[in-house]
Amino acid sequence: MEVSGLAELLLRVTDRAGLVRTLNPSEGAQLMPVLRDQVDVTIGTCGGELSCGTCLVLLDQRWAGRLPEPGEDERELLEALGAAPDARLACQIALPAGVEQLALTVAPEG
């Protein structure tokens, strides 16, 4: 779908209860507040300071390579958490242009 000549950013989120929601966040928005505010999940208890891992999301494999690579601090925390290869921290993802229909799952708590 296009709006004013620009592709509309759609985000398909599967929440912790297994419910699928389609969101339309702004380009450049940080993923963590979008999920916290629009999906109503408790994530980011550290406020995005890379110390808790509660904003762990699992990216659809088709999209994992289309986002910027995680930085060193994020990689270290993902490793410490024993996260899956397709996992990222929502606090470290700004939604870029050209990522229409990004699909992800909010990881289970704990």
pLDDT of residue 6: 45
pLDDT of residue 90: 93
pLDDT of residue 3: 41
Residue type, 45: T
Instruction: Assign 102 a pLDDT band (cuts: 50, 70, 90).
Output: confident
Predicted TM-score of the model (pTM): 0.84
Q: What domains lie within the chain, and their CATH numbers? A: 2-106 (3.10.20.30)
pLDDT top residue among 90 and 7:
90
Strand partners for 30? 94
Instruction: Assign 99 a pLDDT band (cuts: 50, 70, 90).
Output: low
Say if CB 20 and CB 13 are below 8 A apart. yes
Strand partners for 102? 11
Convert the pLDDT of each residue in 22-78 to its tens digit.
Answer: 988 887 888 999 888 888 777 878 888 898 898 999 998 877 677 888 999 999 999
No. of H helices and E strands in the chain?
3, 7
Query: Which residue is associated with the tokens 């966040």?
Result: 25
